[in-house]
Amino acid sequence: MTIIRDLGGGDVFRIGDALTGNIVFGATGSGKTSAVARFLALGYLAAGFGGIVLCSKPDESAQFAKWAAEAGREDDLVIIDAAGTWRFNFMECEASRPDEGGGLAINLVHILDEIGIAISGNIETGGGSSKFWEQSVHTTNTHLVNLVLLAGLQVSLPLLRSIVNTAAHTPEQVHDPEWRKDSTCAQIIAEADMATQKADPQVRADYEECFDFWMRDWPQISDKTRSIIELMLTSLIEPLVTRPLRKIFSSDTNIKPEDSFDGKIIVVNLPIAQYRIVGRIANLIFKFCFEMAVLRRVPPADRKSFLRPVFLWQDECQEFVTRFDSEYQAVARSAGGCTVMLSQNRESLKRVLKSDEVVDSLLGNLQAKWFCQNCGDTNQWAARLLGERWVPVTTTNASQSENNNIPMMTPQNAGHNAGVSIAEQRRFFVEPATFATLKHGGPRYGNQVECILYLGGHQFFDGREWLPYKFMTFNQS
């Protein structure tokens, strides 16, 4: 399989390694971006990968553009920014997608659900009140999108907001002629009724479900419950129908995540550090739509050609991680998806995902793990990952005994005991303290960055023995 980077010592990093997913851990200033990330990026770009670059910090777009220029790929760059030169109406693209599964309400709702849950910061999958509200919003989104599709209209976020804002609040209002005349919700219900009267029975059954929800169920929901659902929907839709996201996501489309399959490098230059929730929403939309597009890819049947590998690049990945990532990563390899994630430590992921099991599920599907200088529990976890071995440990002891009953005790008549023993003990291949002392660049360390690579169980020969890791040194430039 094609070699992407030379690891030194006869070892190489191949496309197959890229496809199994990469995560880079390192403390702030450890060199994980300037050394390891640059090393991977230049390899991916030189190999012709397309991809999506998510931005957490303001300098990341310029940084990746510089790497693209070094690899001769600057013409493939597409920079998504607040100017709205490049636009992606993700709702309309999904609704009009011609292939199997396109245009289904449930898939459109899935996008809204995932983005809504992620931006709320509530991505644990347990029960309780959060699960109730999550399911309530999902149900409302389903009937919103289905109603628009059944009426034969273009799915748009402003229209969805207008429907929910003008829906009847009481059973009596449903029969009010003024409400039926002025309400967008009532008008779309009437259009859906007309459009489905002679339709397939299954389509008509979908309309009846929508009618029952908006005309019977919704008006009977308590005011408090309904207002919370409306607020949650508004918190998702409002940023997308106001600037700067309105022009990017609620107008036309001239760029799609699928364009990365042809080699485009799409950089979402709306960094979270600068745009906060607006930047988070923009990055998550592109991320989730990219993941779904990748999973729809089918390898060529003739086996004479291959899918172009495409990367999902996430520096400060704790800002973008979602519960869907583990599901995506489990099957992305066969669809040509190459994930690159960078974060300070494992605890950053746990803080967002709120579960050791969810974090371990994600990390277990990222086979290549790069460890730069770090501290804390991540070092313990890394040491356990690399494993233990039996090593001979030598112990010595010496003692001298005295007899107080002998008046004149001399060294000659004192008792002496000494011994040497050798026993095997289990020790880490790499002790946790070793990760804390790795070189992390800058003049103090001669601009060198040290890193320990675990490559999915691959064995590396260091000249004396085979090891489950490779010790690497990068020169910062």
**pLDDT 10s digits, 132-173:** 888 999 999 999 999 999 999 999 999 999 999 999 999 999
Average of per-residue pLDDT values in the chain: 91
Q: Which two tokens stand for residue 439?
A: 């070189």
What are the residue boundaries of the structural domains of the chain, listed by start? 3-86+255-365, 90-241
CATH architecture of 3-86+255-365: 3-Layer(aba) Sandwich (3.40)
User: Angle at CA 358, nearest 5°, toward 426 and 278?
Assistant: 130
The C-alpha torsion from 161 through 165 and 167 to 173, rounded to 10°, is: -170
Task: Indicate the DSSP class of residue 215.
Answer: I
Instruction: Please say if the pLDDT value at position 301 is more than 60.
Output: yes
Enter the pTM of the model: 0.89
Enter the tokens of residue 198. 């002679």
* Higher local confidence (pLDDT), 402 or 259: 259
Buried b / exposed e along 112-128 (16+ C-beta atoms within 10 A): bbbbbbbbeeebbeeee
Whole-number Å distance between alpha carbons of 64 and 62: 6
Q: Go through 353-372 and write b for each residue having 16 or more CB atoms within 10 A of its CB, e for each that does not.
A: bbbeebbbbbbebbbbbbbb
Instruction: Return the residue matching tokens 């490779």.
Output: 470
Cβ–Cβ under 8 Å, residues 260 and 336: no
Confidence of residue 366 (pLDDT cuts 50, 70, 90): very high
Decide the pairing of beta strands 11-14 and 415-428.
Answer: unpaired
pLDDT at 300: 80
pLDDT 10s digits, 249-282: 999 999 999 999 999 999 999 999 999 999 999 9
Given a cut of 50, whether residue 124 has pLDDT beyond it is: no
Average pLDDT rounded to a whole number, residues 292-302 = 89
Structure confidence at residue 244 (pLDDT): 94
In this prediction, residue 435 has a pLDDT band, given cuts at 50, 70 and 90, of very high
Long-range contacts of 60-65 (CB under 8 A, 24+ apart): 60/267, 60/269, 60/271, 60/315, 61/267, 61/269, 61/271, 63/33, 64/265, 64/267, 64/313, 65/267
pLDDT for 229 beyond 50: yes
Cis peptide before 244 (omega within 30 of 0): yes
Tokens of 364: 């277990």
